[in-house]
Structure 1
Amino acid sequence: MPSALLIIDMQVGLFHGPDKPHDGERVLGNIRRLIQQARERNVPIHAVRHTGPDGSPIAAGSPFWQLLPELELDGDIDILFNKTRPNAFHGTSLAQHLRSGGVDELLIVGMKTQYCIDSTCRAAADLGLKPLLVADAHTCMDTPVLAASAIIEHHNATLNGAFARIINTADIQF
């Protein structure tokens, strides 16, 4: 079953902004481990940036829009692309890239759990892919209503089964 790794919105402005992501360094470490494992096994890596309108803090090309340098992504071998909606498939060529590579299992990691992670898991399932949400490799920030840890736990429980299979970093074997 050919797999791919999808890294969502691990951007300078979101990760290092005024609101810090829950357990951010652990999540970043887990994503880095998955990148290393994917490289060792020649598993394709796709990384997407959320792109805001001109003049916004995450407008294309702005410092906050950039993917985290700590990920050590390489535009020559990794597929880097932009999106403007929470669903990483909407208005992008992600589905075509995955189909052309014969990928049917998509490991999903990154930010923010209740927006782009949730939307992309659901869309991947609707497209007939097998999304695997890496439970300890996605994050978000606290909101006025819920703590980030509760948001993450809720989404891991809600998405598990109908929309994705939940797996931990340590259990992934590409």
Structure 2
Amino acid sequence: MSAALLIIDMQIGLFQGQEKPHDGERMLANIQHLIALARHRQVPIFAVRHTGPAGSPIAASSAFWQLLPALELDAANATFVDKLRPNAFHGTELARQLNSANIEDLYIVGMKTQFCIDSTCRAAADLGFKPLLVADAHTCMDTPALPAQAIIEHHHATLGAAFVRLINTADIAF
């Protein structure tokens, strides 16, 4: 069985914007650990960037659109996927790329839990992949309705019930 690490929207403008991600530094450290482990095990890494409309802070090629430098990802060690919608599969070549690489197990990490993580997890399952949501390597921000921790817990209960297998960073061996 082949595995891949799917990193969603770990971009400067989203991670370092006005609103800070819940437990962001711990989550970033977990993703960095998974990147190192994936490299060591020769597991493919796919890095997704959300692209905003022209003139927005995360418009293509803007400074805030770039992935966090701390991830140390480039075209030599990761496949980049640019998306316009929350679902990383919608309007992209991601499914084709994963199928071409014979990927089944898809370890999903990144931001934001209630948007891009949620829709990508559901789509991955619908497309026949085996999504594994890394429970301690995704996050979001507080909202007026709910604190980030409640959003994360709710998504673990919902996604874990029907769409993904939940796993923690420490339990991943690829």
Bucket of the pairwise TM-score, normalised by the shorter protein: over 0.9
Matching of residue 132 in structure 1 with residue 122 in structure 2? no
CA distance in 2, matches of 1:129, 1:101: 12
Aligned-partner Cα distance in 2 for 1:104–1:29: 25
3-state SS of paired residue (2:118) = helix
1:43 aligns to 2:43 (yes or no): yes
Structure 1 alignment gaps of length 5 or more: none
Normalising by structure 1, report the TM-score: 0.99
Q: Report the count of equivalent residues.
A: 174
**One-letter amino acid of the structure 2 residue matched with residue 126 of structure 1:** D
Q: Distance in 1 between matches of 2:8 and 2:115?
A: 11
Aligned partner of 1:104 in structure 2 is 104
TM-score normalised according to structure 2 size: 0.99
Q: What is residue 65 of structure 2 aligned with on the other side?
A: 65
CA distance in 1 between counterparts of 2:23 and 2:9 reads: 16
Runs of 4+ in structure 1 displaced over 3 angstroms? none
Matching residue of 1:78: 78
Q: Give the whole-Å Cα distance in 2 for the aligned partners of 1:157 and 1:35.
A: 26
Structure 2: which 5+ runs fail to align? Answer: none
Work out the percentage of aligned pairs sharing the same amino acid: 72
1:145 corresponds to: 145
Query: Following TM superposition, by how much is the alpha carbon of 1:57 offset from its aligned partner in structure 2, in angstroms?
Result: 0.6
> CA shift at 1:161, angstroms?
3.3
Secondary structure at the counterpart of residue 103 of structure 2: coil
Deviation at 1:76, TM superposition (A): 1.7
Q: Which SS does the other structure have where 1:40 is aligned?
A: helix
Instruction: Kindly provide the CA deviation profile for residues 71-112 of structure 1, in whole angstroms up to 9, marking residues without a partner as x.
Output: 000212310120000000000000011100010110000000
Equivalent in the alignment of 2:3: 3
Q: Secondary structure at the match of 1:58?
A: coil
Secondary structure at the counterpart of residue 26 of structure 1 = helix
Q: Separation in 2 of the partners of 1:169 and 1:77? A: 20
CA deviation map 1:12-44 (0-9, x unaligned): 000000000000000000000000000000000
